[in-house]
Chain A
Amino acid sequence: MNSEPVYSELYRLGSLGASLIDAIDELVVAQKLEPQVGAQVLRQFDKTMDRGFVGHTKAKMTAKAKLRTYRLCDNVWTFDLRNVTFTMDNREKVEAKRMKIVAVSADPKDTSRKKDD
């Protein structure tokens, strides 16, 4: 039985995660890296990304948008936003017409450590 907690693979979808997957795939195809080791690296990536947001980040950002729909299912929040304006720490503004946010709670108490059936 696997007693190791499983972390959300959410962050593999970002540019950082995607680049890591590309690099690992290259090495596995070139047979310089075993697939199991590659999988272990990704699991470590999941764990580090999950831990990284709790207590290590200080940058703040505010967002203003029209919320079309929201959903909370199994601790995963999905927001569908329109006419979004993000305001960064350095007053920089980023705008988007349509946006979908998929978020998981960063609080270690909130996250269920069990893998869902």
Chain B
Amino acid sequence: MAQSQPAPRGIALIHPSWPCPQVQNVVATVNLDCRLDLLALSQQARNVEYSRKKFHALIMRIRDPKTTTLVFATGKMVITGAKSAELARLAGRKHARMIQKCGFQTKFMDFKVQNFVASCSTGFYVRLEGIVSRYPDFARYEPEIFPGLVYKIAGANITMLVFTNGKVVITGVKEVDKIYESFAKVYPILLDEKMGDVVRR
């Protein structure tokens, strides 16, 4: 590798012949900076659920982007279900506009993605016991408790689930690049423990 070039980041780490993780879910938070009357909101807005006794937040859903938002009386919102960070932001803005139309002076402050969930299919069977015996510090596999192997990347709070059928789930990531970096680290390990290709009939 040439020293003058910057180290490849993010998706560039994934070799073109490798499978690429796809983002399945994004969880983000935003502050509307405005005290909200959830009861009034639940009566005016559409597609909302509010049961005070069950949970102290209003649940609002929109169709496009298909997302669900938890709205708290403090004006803070949690947006879930979006397929990308940009869609999460767009959804957040749409939810905020709905709340604004109900008569609240909303802002759109401190939008932050809290979690990305990505998944990927390697296409081959993986011998999970092999991974555990090689990397006991990072991998945990207890088939009686959960059929998937839990691989925690050293240092970061990132968790990867690896299953025998070769499917991988990456979660706990706050930046998109980290998804690809984590996968790039783990994929060679999976290749070492390859058992056979998954044949689709």
Contact = CB atoms under 8 A, between A and B. Distances in A.
Interface stretch (A27-35, A41-49, A69-77): A69-77
Contacts of B47: 69-71
A23 B97 CA distance: 49
A112 interface: yes
B51 A72 contact: yes
B39 A73 contact: yes
A72 B49 contact: yes
Given A71-B48, A72-B48, A112 B43 contact: no
User: Which of under 10, 10 to 19, 20 to 34, or 35 or more describes the interface residues of B?
Assistant: 10 to 19
Contact of A71 (B39, B42, B52, B53): B42
A54 to B, nearest CB: 19
B101 interface: no
Interface in A66-87: 69-75
Nearest to A72: B49
A72 B52 CA distance: 11
B111 interface: no
Nearest to B43: A73
Interface of B: 39, 42-43, 46-53
Given A71-B46, A112-B53, 19 more contacts: A69-B47, A70-B46, A70-B47, A71-B42, A71-B43, A71-B49, A72-B48, A72-B49, A72-B50, A72-B51, A73-B39, A73-B42, A73-B43, A73-B48, A73-B50, A74-B39, A74-B51, A74-B52, A75-B51
14 contacts: A69-B46, A70-B47, A71-B42, A71-B43, A72-B50, A72-B51, A73-B42, A73-B43, A73-B50, A74-B39, A74-B42, A74-B50, A74-B51, A75-B51
Interface of A: 69-75, 112
